[in-house]
């Protein structure tokens, strides 16, 4: 009898350990697809959204994922479910520096999609109340429709008093009337990055500026609505913040302790099941030498409204999206179409087939072909960085600067004069930034650190 009890305890322990592990359920090493969203209509039907027009669909609780054919080269930004058959999908065009937005519709549960709207401004988020009435949000604006997206009317304009240049990054509704829009932007005088909360009490027909989250926090990537007035924000200083009054005031809550001291950290996505239970994922970059770096991630959960966190962090591929069906079963998505599933909360360890070899980068330039000989100095820097190229003057040069989430911060086109080009980053947040250059048929990428 004693041996039987021991065997049962051992079996239960093995089962619990297995449930606590993450499992790789999808991976495509041939495509450097970056996750932007993962969402489920119900406990079985779900979607993972990536760049490169990659849309993955599952009907068996995430065990298997099929690729849905979409045209072009788009970043898929958001998906919204109206009913079991009618879904809407938003995207922005990767070829035009994200200056074009698209809205697509499916009437067969996401198997086939048709374009219903395109515009010159990117679309980051969508929300539909029923088959006819909905909202789109993106750079500089929120617009509404009452005819399934055939025509649109602007209901909120940015820039305004808050930003010189702005973008709505999250659009959330507690009910058919009460909603919030989270915005972030760049101000030129002085140069700075900041956040803002907007609210509506009439289903998005009109919006009020509530105020900044707090410019001292740094730009926030993750924003979540957990109740009619309960909001959460994850920021770059490794803290989670909570508001209980619709974004008017914010309180510091849990601190992420398991990450050491990365040169860059950002909570990039949150998913709350209630005002108390929520999950989040973060992205880190650890600099090993002047040329080498290591990517890591953080997965966290809270069961007390953000007061404390359970944490799981590892070196590995950057993760950008998280979704939990309940307090046990959840998913994360990241680069190379990586999707992992857990049935034991945030997990305690990675599976044996986790692609660690994809997370070590000998140089940031390994991510893109590099035919331009780039020199950046000083690096790290605090106010400005100088760019030098070993090419003949007189050619047109396109310069782009991105943050770690892939968001475009600067876009400059100039004729290269053979002299160094200065990039002013005074007022930017500390962290890692990527530089992309294009000159004729030559391209190059590099990175710098704002200290």
In degrees and rounded to multiples of 5, residue 277 shows phi and psi of -105, 120
User: 151-155, 199-203, 340-344, 443-447: which has the minimum mean pLDDT?
Assistant: 443-447
Q: How confident is the model at residue 172, as a pLDDT?
A: 95
**Taking a C-beta distance cutoff of 8 angstroms, is the pair 247, 180 a contact?**
yes
Closest CA relative to residue 170, chosen from 220, 206, 131: 220
pLDDT above 60 (res 123): yes
Q: What is the pLDDT of residues 51-83, one digit of tens each?
A: 888 999 999 999 999 999 888 778 899 999 999
The larger pLDDT score, comparing residue 185 to residue 352, is at: 352
Q: How confident is the model at residue 286, as a pLDDT?
A: 52
The larger pLDDT score, comparing residue 241 to residue 426, is at: 241
Whole-number percent of the chain with pLDDT over 90: 39
Instruction: Report the alpha-carbon angle 182-177-172, nearest 5.
Output: 30
Q: How confident is the model at residue 158, as a pLDDT?
A: 74
**Taking a C-beta distance cutoff of 8 angstroms, is the pair 208, 218 a contact?**
no
Q: What is the pLDDT of residues 278-313, one digit of tens each?
A: 999 887 655 444 444 556 788 989 999 999 888 887
The larger pLDDT score, comparing residue 14 to residue 82, is at: 82
Quickly state the pLDDT bin for 392 (edges 50, 70, 90): confident
pLDDT above 50 (res 366): no
Paired with 445 in beta bridges are 436
Q: How confident is the model at residue 8, as a pLDDT?
A: 36
**Taking a C-beta distance cutoff of 8 angstroms, is the pair 266, 283 a contact?**
yes
pLDDT above 80 (res 36): yes
Per the structure block, which two tokens stand in for 258? Answer: 């398991």
Closest CA relative to residue 135, chosen from 42, 209, 202, 210: 202
Quickly state the pLDDT bin for 187 (edges 50, 70, 90): low
Element (H, E) at 318: none
Residue ranges per domain, the chain? 23-361, 365-450
**Taking a C-beta distance cutoff of 8 angstroms, is the pair 158, 146 a contact?**
no
Residue 67 and residue 14: Cα distance in Å, rounded? 34
Answer whether the bond into residue 371 is a cis peptide, omega within 30°: no
Half-sphere exposure of 427 (CA within 13 A, CB side): 14
Sign, CA torsion 23/26/27/33: negative
Closest CA relative to residue 107, chosen from 81, 70, 75: 81
**Taking a C-beta distance cutoff of 8 angstroms, is the pair 55, 49 a contact?**
yes
- Provide mean pLDDT across the span 38-56: 94
Place of tokens 């086109």: 413
CATH code 2.60.40.2480 for 365-450: no
Per the structure block, which two tokens stand in for 130? Answer: 């029923």
Per the structure block, which two tokens stand in for 277? Answer: 């239970």
CATH architecture, domain defined by 23-361? 7 Propeller (2.130)
**DSSP state, residue 71:** -
Q: How confident is the model at residue 322, as a pLDDT?
A: 96
pTM for the full model?
0.77
**DSSP state, residue 139:** B
Q: How confident is the model at residue 317, as a pLDDT?
A: 74
Quickly state the pLDDT bin for 152 (edges 50, 70, 90): very high
Residue 398 and residue 229: Cα distance in Å, rounded? 44
In degrees and rounded to multiples of 5, residue 167 shows phi and psi of -150, 135
Q: What is the pLDDT of residues 240-263, one digit of tens each?
A: 889 999 999 988 887 776 555 554
The larger pLDDT score, comparing residue 449 to residue 377, is at: 377
Quote the mean pLDDT of the chain: 80
- Provide mean pLDDT across the span 161-173: 71
The larger pLDDT score, comparing residue 166 to residue 13, is at: 166
Q: How confident is the model at residue 98, as a pLDDT?
A: 53
Quickly state the pLDDT bin for 320 (edges 50, 70, 90): confident
Quickly state the pLDDT bin for 369 (edges 50, 70, 90): very low
């Amino acid at each position: 009898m004693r041996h039987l009890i021991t065997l049962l305890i051992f079996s239960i322990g093995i089962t619990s350990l297995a449930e606590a592990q993450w499992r790789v359920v999808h991976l495509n090493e041939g495509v450097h697809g970056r996750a932007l969203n993962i969402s489920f209509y119900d406990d079985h039907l779900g979607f993972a959204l990536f760049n490169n027009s990659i849309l993955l669909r599952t009907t068996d609780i995430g065990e298997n994922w099929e690729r849905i054919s979409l045209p072009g080269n788009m970043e898929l930004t958001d998906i919204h479910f109206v009913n079991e058959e009618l879904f809407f999908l938003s995207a922005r065009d990767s070829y035009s520096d994200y200056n074009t937005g698209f809205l697509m519709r499916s009437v067969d549960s996401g198997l086939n999609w048709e374009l219903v709207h395109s515009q010159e401004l990117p679309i980051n988020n969508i929300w539909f109340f029923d088959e006819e009435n909905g909202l789109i949000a993106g750079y500089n604006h929120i617009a509404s429709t009452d005819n399934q997206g055939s025509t649109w009317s602007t209901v909120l304009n940015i820039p305004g008093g808050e930003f010189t240049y702005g973008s709505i990054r999250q659009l959330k509704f507690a009910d058919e009337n009460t909603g919030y829009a989270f915005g972030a932007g760049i101000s030129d005088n002085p140069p700075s990055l900041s956040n803002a909360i907007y609210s509506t009490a009439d289903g998005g027909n009109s919006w009020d500026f509530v105020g900044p989250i707090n410019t001292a926090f740094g730009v926030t990537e993750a924003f979540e609505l957990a109740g009619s007035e309960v909001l959460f924000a994850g920021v770059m200083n490794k803290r989670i913040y909570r508001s209980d009054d619709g974004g008017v005031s914010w309180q510091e809550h849990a601190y992420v302790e398991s990450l050491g001291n990365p040169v860059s950290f950002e909570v990039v996505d949150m998913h709350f099941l209630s005002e108390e239970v929520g999950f989040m994922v973060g992205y880190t970059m650890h600099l090993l030498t002047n040329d080498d770096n290591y990517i890591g991630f953080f997965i966290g959960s809270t069961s007390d409204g953000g007061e404390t966190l359970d944490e799981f962090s590892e070196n590995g591929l950057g993760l950008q999206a998280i979704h939990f069906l309940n307090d046990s079963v959840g998913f994360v998505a990241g680069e190379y179409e990586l999707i992992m599933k857990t049935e034991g909360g945030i997990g305690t360890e990675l599976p044996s087939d986790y692609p660690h070899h994809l997370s070590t980068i000998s140089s940031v330039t390994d991510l893109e072909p590099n035919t331009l000989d780039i020199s950046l100095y000083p690096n790290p820097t605090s106010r400005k960085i100088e760019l030098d190229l070993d090419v003949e003057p007189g050619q047109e040069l396109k310069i782009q600067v991105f943050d770690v989430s892939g968001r475009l911060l600067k876009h400059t086109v100039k004729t290269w004069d053979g002299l160094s080009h200065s990039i002013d980053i005074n007022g930017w947040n500390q962290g890692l930034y990527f530089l992309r250059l294009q000159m004729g048929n030559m391209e190059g990428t590099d990175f710098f650190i704002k200290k």
